[in-house]
Amino acid sequence: MTATEVRFAVRLTPRGGADRIDGVAEGVLRARVAAPAVDGAANHALMRLLADELGVAPSAVRLVAGTAARRKLVAVDGLTREAIVARWPDLAV
């Protein structure tokens, strides 16, 4: 973990029809991606979606835990906690 890294939980729904953020529920970001949960495709789609939503490079977003689970722990480099909470106010960061 770096000084500029912010971590938060994401609940991912693979094969969700479209890549989108559904909001925050109980402090956890809810996201869906069209990709299936096969060979890491859904995880890669999630990382791209989060990078696009936050306006950071894809390399700034990484999966810390939950590779094979619906609930994942994501780390984002280069943004402050405040910037992420401004985007998703109810997110537990």
DSSP of 37-62 = SSTTHHHHHHHHHHHHHHT--GGGEE
On whether residue 38 sits in a domain, the answer given is yes
Domain interval for residue 83: 5-87
Q: What is the pLDDT of residues 16-35, one digit of tens each?
A: 999 999 999 999 999 999 99
Question: Which residue in the block uniquely carries the two structure tokens 């700034």?
Answer: 60
Residue 93 lies inside a defined structural domain of this protein: no
Q: What is the predicted pLDDT for the residue at 73? A: 98
The structural domain count of the chain equals 1
Looking at the domain assignment, is residue 23 inside a domain?
yes
* Alpha carbons 68 and 40: distance in angstroms, whole number: 8
Asked, for residue 83, whether it belongs to a domain, the answer is yes
Predicted TM-score (pTM) of the model is 0.93
Q: Model confidence at 4, in pLDDT bands (50, 70, 90)?
A: confident
53 vs 13: CA distance, rounded Å: 17
In a domain, 14, yes or no: yes
Per-residue pLDDT, averaged over 51-61, amounts to 96
CATH number at residue 64: 3.30.1200.10
Residue 4 in 3-state DSSP? coil
- Cβ atoms of 87 and 2 within 8 Å: the answer is no
Tens of pLDDT, residue by residue over 61-74, are 999 999 999 999 99
The pLDDT assigned to 3 comes to 60
CA–CA distance from 80 to each of 16, 45, 47, 55 (Å)? 29, 23, 18, 13
